[in-house]
Amino acid sequence: MSSINPTPRDHNKARVLDVLLSRAPLTRNKLIDVTGLSKATVSRAVEELRADGFVVDGGVDAVVGRGRPSTYLDVPETAGHVVGVGFGAVTTGVLVTDLRGREIGQMIVPTVEHDDIPAAGRWLVDLIAQTAASARGPLRQVVAALPAHVRDGAEVFRPADRMRIFSGRDLQRTVEELLDAPVTFDSDANASLLQVLTDDTSIRNAALFSVSSTLNFATCTDHELARGRTPAFGDIGALSSGIDGHTLNELLSTAGLVRFARDHGWDIEHVEDLSPTPHNQAARAETLNAFTTALTTAVSIVAVTLDPESVYFVGRLSPLVDEVLPEVRERLERTLPAVPRITTVSQVLGLSVASGAVHACLAMAHERLRDTLLKARSQGPHQGHTEPAF
């Protein structure tokens, strides 16, 4: 059977679905206002989407005085769910929501170290299954964010030291095959910045550094996330920090900063040991100066190259960033014509990155549903459904 191109009616239906997925619950009148479509067009699209399993009545709008109450339209949980994973070197968080972003379940656990990728894949899939146990409808999308650079949504390279085994595409393939659902990998920095953008829609141009198990970087222009390597300077972590040949990643990551401290006479094991004591003042001062210099260098590179309005820092080194931020600003004011706003963002370890991954999931799932709806005409007519038709 030859394919049939989507009609204006199909595009109107896709437009109504877009608005319902992003703004429901809302009344028919509000749906008409937002879409700009006629009352008859919206009513027809709503009834078709109801038959497809994507619309249900979701309560009544109370009316003061005379007038007929309006019924809210909503997207049912049976339309499907998405999963965001913050797969960290120390902690892993999983967040499950329906297609409207309503939380279904969450889980935060210590990350288990694995010697092989199949075992790690099964572990992740088991976590997802446990967290999504009460979900209804099909699994539409999974996004797993981790401390690494990620290419094309699948290839992991330059991950945190404890996650070197996951370099390449094998982990993404393993998880996708086990779940039989679309799975995309991303960096923790991208997920964190996406969460920031979701929380504050006024942000236009910004940069974010994830200073944790490894240094990761993300940026946005006109509120749109720039994925992959930043074209202006590639892998920023490989650039010089300005301290004795050390790279930015060597001073702006937990393991790297601990190594620097130990090399300079401060016998510590973990980044949490960086708190001051009477016996480590000189070594701590030297370590903090190197850290401050690296932060100043990183912000300078970004400010000159990308000219962001704001620069954000997240991750386990954020408390240390807060401690030295006044000195960083002072140094930048001496060298830059204009200093961007610099701030740390508080996070729930594991869960905040998973939340950012969920926002990426929802955007992907909504786009895929719209494309599938427009292609559905070539599949022939369908009858009413109690489960989603696509």
Taking the C-alpha atoms of residue 73 and residue 27, their distance in angstroms, rounded to an integer, is: 6
Taking the C-alpha atoms of residue 172 and residue 154, their distance in angstroms, rounded to an integer, is: 6
User: In the structure encoding, which two tokens stand for residue 55, read together?
Assistant: 């619309």
65 contact partners, CB below 8 Å, separation of at least 6 = none
5: DSSP letter:
P
User: In the structure encoding, which two tokens stand for residue 221, read together?
Assistant: 């222009």
272 contact partners, CB below 8 Å, separation of at least 6 = none
What was the pLDDT predicted at 228?
A: 47
What was the pLDDT predicted at 350?
A: 82
177 contact partners, CB below 8 Å, separation of at least 6 = none
What was the pLDDT predicted at 209?
A: 97
| pLDDT means over runs of 10, the chain (390 residues) | 74 95 93 95 95 85 53 94 96 97 96 94 98 96 96 93 94 97 96 94 95 94 73 72 92 92 82 68 88 97 94 95 96 96 91 96 95 73 59
Taking the C-alpha atoms of residue 345 and residue 212, their distance in angstroms, rounded to an integer, is: 13
What was the pLDDT predicted at 387?
A: 61
Instruction: Return the percent helix, strand and coil in the chain, to nearest 5.
Output: 45, 25, 30
Taking the C-alpha atoms of residue 247 and residue 237, their distance in angstroms, rounded to an integer, is: 6
Taking the C-alpha atoms of residue 345 and residue 324, their distance in angstroms, rounded to an integer, is: 15
The amino acid present at 89, given as its one-letter code, is A
Taking the C-alpha atoms of residue 96 and residue 75, their distance in angstroms, rounded to an integer, is: 16
Q: How many whole angstroms from its chain centre is CA 211?
A: 16
What was the pLDDT predicted at 65?
A: 46
Taking the C-alpha atoms of residue 379 and residue 266, their distance in angstroms, rounded to an integer, is: 68
Among 25, 12, 11, residue whose Cα is nearest residue 77:
25
Q: Which residues pair with 252 in a beta bridge?
A: none
